[in-house]
Structure 1
Amino acid sequence: MNNGPGICPDCRRRVLWTRTLPGATTPGGKRLAVDPTPHPEGNTAVRRDGTTAWVSRRVTEQQPLMGYERLHMPHPATCPNQQEQLPLQLPQNVVRLDRRRTPRGRS
């Protein structure tokens, strides 16, 4: 998967692959798929950096949208196949045990 236009492996829709910038609460350098068309209800600022790579970051009150950025919707929020798989948000340092349990045979 390259940086830029691509296809979602789950729903086969067009996406824009970006590299995340470090923010107040997020580390940078992770890959994020966003919907390719800007969306007014999105929460992700997208732009091209000096090397023409697509980069994204979370828009916050402390870091509002800049004039050279466009607001996009993260693709996991709109992907029909990922909506079914979204995990429950648990507090930090809490482990989901259901993923670690193995099914037991009933007799």
Structure 2
Amino acid sequence: MKRLATCHDCRRPILWTITEAGKRLAVDPDPDSAGNTAVRCDGVGTWRSRRPTTELPINGWERLHMPHVATCPNRAEQLALPVGVTSLAEHRRKRRQ
């Protein structure tokens, strides 16, 4: 049984999972074929998530879900930089090439 929480920003339901690194990750509660996170419930009722790879593809007991950070409508507002602040991401991308 899924114990759903509510996103503080958009008030939509979310499902908290634990990643392979032991971090918490909020995902949308309904499976999504466009998702990039494999989610399963372990034997003690903890929801676990991981990123499927070519070496470790999705298993039969896992379902693809979308991380909530990718679908939260209020997330774009949070990512907007304040006036006068410049993002260095574009500069860093150019240096790597």
* Shorter-chain TM band: 0.7 to 0.9
- 2: distance between equivalents of 1:69 and 1:89? 37
Residue identity (%) = 58
Q: TM-score normalized by structure 2? A: 0.76
* Number of residue-to-residue matches in the alignment: 84
Q: TM-score normalized by structure 1? A: 0.69
Matched, 1:36 2:35: no
Which runs of at least 4 in structure 1 moved beyond 6 Å after TM superposition?
none
Matched, 1:59 2:52: yes
Match of 2:95 in 1: none
- What is the CA distance between 1:59 and its match in structure 2? 1.4
In the alignment, structure 1 segments of 5+ residues that lack a partner are 22-27, 95-107
Q: CA RMSD in A?
A: 2.4
Q: Hey, which of these two has a bigger chunk of helix by percent?
A: 2
Counterpart amino acid of 1:35? D
SS state at 1:83 partner: helix
In the alignment, structure 2 segments of 5+ residues that lack a partner are 81-86, 93-97
